[in-house]
Structure 1
Amino acid sequence: MKQYETYKESGIDWIWNFPSHWEVKKAKYIFDEIKMTGFEHETILSVSKGKGLIPRTDMEQKVVNADKNLDKFKLVTPNQFIIHLRSFQSGFEMSTISGIVSPAYTILQGGNDVNPGYFKRLFHSETFISKLASLVLSLRDGKPISFADFGELYLPLPSLKEQHLMATYLDQHVDKVDLLVEKKRAQIERLREYRQSLITESVTKGLDPDAPIKDSGVEWIGAVPAHWEVSKLKRFAHITRGTADKKTKENEIPVNLVQYTNVYYKPIQQQNDDDYLPITVTKHELEFSQVKRGDVLLTASSETSNDIGRSTVVYEDLNNHVFGSDVIRLRVPQDELELSFRKYLFDNYYFLSKLNSLTRGVTRFRFNMDDFRSLFFVIPPFQEQKEISAYLDEKTNYIASNISNITTQIDRLEEYKRSLIYEVVTGKRKVEESDIEGELYHEA
């Protein structure tokens, strides 16, 4: 790693030292605050995690309420920066498009000595974000970061040529890392899709491709092994919706509340007391809502329809746990469904997609309990359930191991990217024209 000849203390607490010839200025002498309103016909933009500033219509979670007073929204143009409400977690965003943003956002415009590409990387560096987080903690009453707050921060100011070199170098190298990460995430997605198809095929068609088949009579399931039972959920499961609330009262029994986040977060057996909300219940509520071995807990409501129907199987009694109103408990006789088979039966694509089609909501999604109870399942004989579970355990464990390995590779790439950005924007790594791939464009 090439370095500059000499360094000095920067006077910036989140950088420490940098090249001796770099300047330090307060942010208010590098950036101006821009407040241009009255452009209500421009595209409304919002900050999306991982995507930056995008049209609000492209947001994954749609905004329901219509905005009023659009004439008070602020105009933002390419190469300007946004201080948004979550900047203390993800840094400032650089706009690549024109549009209008909420009046709560602060717009920054760099002067003639600013290369936006350099400051885009600086404002996304971990050390800068940590500084913002400490700044927010010092503000009172949950105030957002204002231009006045930001303006007092000291920032490094390399020469314009150096800024351009660093921005170009990082664009080239970070793009390569991002492309690798994107490919690896696509690998994970393909593995997850394969896992889903494997489970669905196994629990609805069985492991014997030569077994006689019959029409299930259920359009969304199709043909099934002839000796399997086709049954509504309410025939083989006792279905209960949670009633416990999130309150604590004196003279009641302290327990842990299993919420929908506990169900799809990770397997129940991998969670500890810190993962649950502590509440109190009466003796009757505890008896009614207690979580026992063999119970299947399923999400009954969520902010997104895709999270509906996620399930987990309880492998041991949880005597001090009850389930909340956003969770459904399915209690099945031990001789009806093999314990491990339960987690696969309720994780098959046909069931999840059918349940998703029954889901309704705007900001909170739910389904009708009568519709849920009447959903059809195909149930193999108990011995076949055990064989299917053993087969799927082996296959899904192998898939999980592969996903874990790829995730580790992604984490290492992301760590390399963070380190590279920090080293370059703070001058720990020197960038020269010879480090740039292709011909370097010189700004006037």
Structure 2
Amino acid sequence: MMGNYQGYQKYKDSGVEWLGDIPEHWEAVGLTKYLQSLVDYRGKTPEKTKDGIFLVTAKNIKNGIIDYSLSQEFIKEDEYDEIMRRGKPEIGDVLLTTEAPLGEVANVDNTNIALAQRVIKMRGKIGVLYNYFLKYWILGASFSQNIQSLCTGSTALGIKASKLCLLKVVLPPLNEQEKIAQFLDYKTKQIDELIKKKETLIEKLDEKRTAIISHAVTKGLDSSVPIKDSGIEWLGDIPKHWKIIPIKRFSQIYDCKHKTVSFVDDGIPVASIAQVQNFYIDLLIAKMTTKEEFIEMIEGGRKPQNGDIILSRNATVGASAIVQDDLFCMGQDVCLIRPVKANSVFLNYNFLAFFTKSQIDTCLLGSTFKRINVEEVKNLLICLPLLEEQKQIAQYLDQKTAQIDQQKAKIKQAIELLKEYRTSLITNAVTGKIDVSQIAIPSPQKPQPQKG
């Protein structure tokens, strides 16, 4: 049982090992038995256009809905009938992604759409299978666990329509399906609103974190010191004893070797943009190269040393991390900054500050590919106090960011618990472990007439 929810009075063996017992008046059947149609849109990729009929791809289907903002692709209106000849969508139809990502599901909420590859459309038989109940069945943990056993593929797991037909579904009577779906609509909306509020809190903490860093590395910690005009309009005043100088004046900067190394199962890690996280280099997800190629990649001063900074120049432009004692070499699209007359931690915080980010954004303007070249990195301006003050600011920011990160971690943990509860509630409701069919769902309040 879950909290205050009760189970049904009588249960029976479902005949399906992974389902266990189900309510006595429910039945476990093959998924396709009560489907009116099942259409797999696998085939030739349609030609994309700038406007026309919206093409729903696997990317658009997430968290139980079609999110039209996640990917925006269109097909020609005069090609719609041909592309959708296997079956046009109707309101309520269930869409399931078959690969990349696998197992996302949503109900159709707009008939003026086309469906892309890696999407299967299902429609329950009228009077037997309620499409909105089917969506929740797919969202439950039971379906997710069993779809994995039927998947194929070496690089990306996927499922074919023929395999999908082998899956079982537990069905209560139609009116009960409708009540369960209505209950889950109401409860998941409540949970999702809570999650959204907590995600907003994280966004605000991120903004606060950036603001604290930005102020500290451009204004310092002592507001009583004399100030001067920085000469940069959007930077404003800075402490009088600070200097604004390009990174190349106090650091050695080395570009990566423009070479793709061969990878091996057991060797020396190669750190590219994917490995550069905020403040640390994640070598656990790095590919490996041979000792011979490692030696070639570290030529010319390129061997990362403790205190160096690895900066991403492509895709995640501006992400930076401090080198510890790990042995690795640079891969593609990163560069190495070796502070000579500056504190590494202080300098690394600068890449998280508005001042430096704004300069990087200016370099990216008009660029087709979001990347920054090494010469532009060398000329990035930094507000530089004396070394001892840099250390003090770095220590202050370590303390402040740690406090914020702890707050974020607690909120993220709460979000994960809410998501787990959401999945558990759905799973228990659609498998009959709890009886929600008699629970009254509040009707949406009608707006009160205005008093004139």
TM-score, shorter chain, exceeding 0.5: yes
Q: TM-score by structure 2 length?
A: 0.84
Give per-residue Cα distances to partners, 1:258-295, cap 9 Å, x unaligned: 12111127723xx45x3321112153433443211111
1:342 to 326, 347, 366: 347
Whole-angstrom distance in 2 between the partners of 1:240 and 1:337: 17
Whole-angstrom distance in 1 between the partners of 2:76 and 2:312: 30
Q: Does 1:400 align with 2:400?
A: no
Whole-angstrom distance in 1 between the partners of 2:157 and 2:294: 40
Secondary structure of the equivalent of 1:290?
coil
Equivalent in the alignment of 1:326: 333
Secondary structure of the equivalent of 1:365?
coil
Opposite residue 142 of structure 2, the aligned amino acid is T
Equivalent in the alignment of 1:285: 297
Contact 2:242-2:386 within 8 A present in 1 as well: yes
Gaps of 5+ in 2: 445-452
Equivalent in the alignment of 1:171: 185
Contact 2:309-2:338 within 8 A present in 1 as well: yes
Contact 1:87-1:132 within 8 A present in 2 as well: no
Equivalent in the alignment of 1:275: 285
Secondary structure of the equivalent of 1:230?
strand
Opposite residue 275 of structure 1, the aligned amino acid is I
Equivalent in the alignment of 2:150: 135
The change in CA–CA distance for 1:219 and 1:346 in structure 2 (over 3 A counts) is: same
Secondary structure of the equivalent of 1:298?
strand
Q: Does 1:152 align with 2:151?
A: no
Contact 2:54-2:74 within 8 A present in 1 as well: no
Whole-angstrom distance in 1 between the partners of 2:74 and 2:185: 36
Q: In terms of mean alpha carbon deviation, does 277-286 or 16-25 score higher?
A: 277-286
Q: In terms of mean alpha carbon deviation, does 206-215 or 191-200 score higher?
A: 206-215
In the TM superposition, what are the counterparts of 1:198-209 in structure 2 within 5 Å?
198-209=212-223
1:372 to 360, 370, 377: 377
The structural deviation recorded for 1:423 is: 0.6
In the TM superposition, what are the counterparts of 1:301-320 in structure 2 within 5 Å?
301-302=314-315, 307-314=316-323, 316-318=324-326, 320=327
The structural deviation recorded for 1:141 is: 9.8
The change in CA–CA distance for 1:141 and 1:367 in structure 2 (over 3 A counts) is: closer
In the TM superposition, what are the counterparts of 1:383-398 in structure 2 within 5 Å?
383-398=388-403
Q: Percent identity?
A: 26
Contact 2:99-2:118 within 8 A present in 1 as well: no
Q: In terms of mean alpha carbon deviation, does 323-332 or 66-75 score higher?
A: 66-75
Equivalent in the alignment of 1:18: 22
Contact 1:91-1:129 within 8 A present in 2 as well: no
Whole-angstrom distance in 1 between the partners of 2:191 and 2:179: 18
Opposite residue 356 of structure 1, the aligned amino acid is D
Whole-angstrom distance in 1 between the partners of 2:144 and 2:270: 34
Whole-angstrom distance in 1 between the partners of 2:75 and 2:211: 38
Contact 2:123-2:131 within 8 A present in 1 as well: no
Equivalent in the alignment of 2:131: 116
Secondary structure of the equivalent of 1:109?
strand
Q: Does 1:237 align with 2:251?
A: yes
Opposite residue 44 of structure 1, the aligned amino acid is L
The structural deviation recorded for 1:144 is: 4.4
The change in CA–CA distance for 1:111 and 1:353 in structure 2 (over 3 A counts) is: farther
Give per-residue Cα distances to partners, 1:202-245, cap 9 Å, x unaligned: 10111122222222223443321111011012212222121252
Give per-residue Cα distances to partners, 1:421-443, cap 9 Å, x unaligned: 1110100001133443349xxxx
Equivalent in the alignment of 1:246: 261
Equivalent in the alignment of 2:450: none
Whole-angstrom distance in 2 between the partners of 1:13 and 1:6: 19
Opposite residue 217 of structure 1, the aligned amino acid is G
The structural deviation recorded for 1:9 is: 2.0
Secondary structure of the equivalent of 1:92?
strand
The change in CA–CA distance for 1:129 and 1:246 in structure 2 (over 3 A counts) is: farther
The structural deviation recorded for 1:80 is: 0.8
Q: In terms of mean alpha carbon deviation, does 193-202 or 388-397 score higher?
A: 388-397
The structural deviation recorded for 1:158 is: 1.0
Secondary structure of the equivalent of 1:148?
helix
The change in CA–CA distance for 1:128 and 1:51 in structure 2 (over 3 A counts) is: closer
Equivalent in the alignment of 1:80: 93
The structural deviation recorded for 1:70 is: 5.4
Equivalent in the alignment of 1:59: 70
User: What CA RMSD, in Å, does the superposition of the two structures yield over aligned residues?
Assistant: 3.2
Whole-angstrom distance in 1 between the partners of 2:227 and 2:439: 68
1:44 to 48, 51, 55: 55
Whole-angstrom distance in 2 between the partners of 1:387 and 1:203: 11
The structural deviation recorded for 1:357 is: 3.2
Whole-angstrom distance in 2 between the partners of 1:64 and 1:223: 49
Whole-angstrom distance in 2 between the partners of 1:239 and 1:332: 9
The structural deviation recorded for 1:155 is: 1.2
Gaps of 5+ in 1: 440-444
How many residue pairs match? The answer is 422
Contact 2:278-2:319 within 8 A present in 1 as well: no
Q: TM-score by structure 1 length?
A: 0.85
The change in CA–CA distance for 1:96 and 1:246 in structure 2 (over 3 A counts) is: farther
The change in CA–CA distance for 1:19 and 1:104 in structure 2 (over 3 A counts) is: same
Equivalent in the alignment of 1:261: 274
Whole-angstrom distance in 2 between the partners of 1:298 and 1:220: 24
The structural deviation recorded for 1:65 is: 11
The structural deviation recorded for 1:76 is: 2.3
Q: Does 1:409 align with 2:414?
A: yes
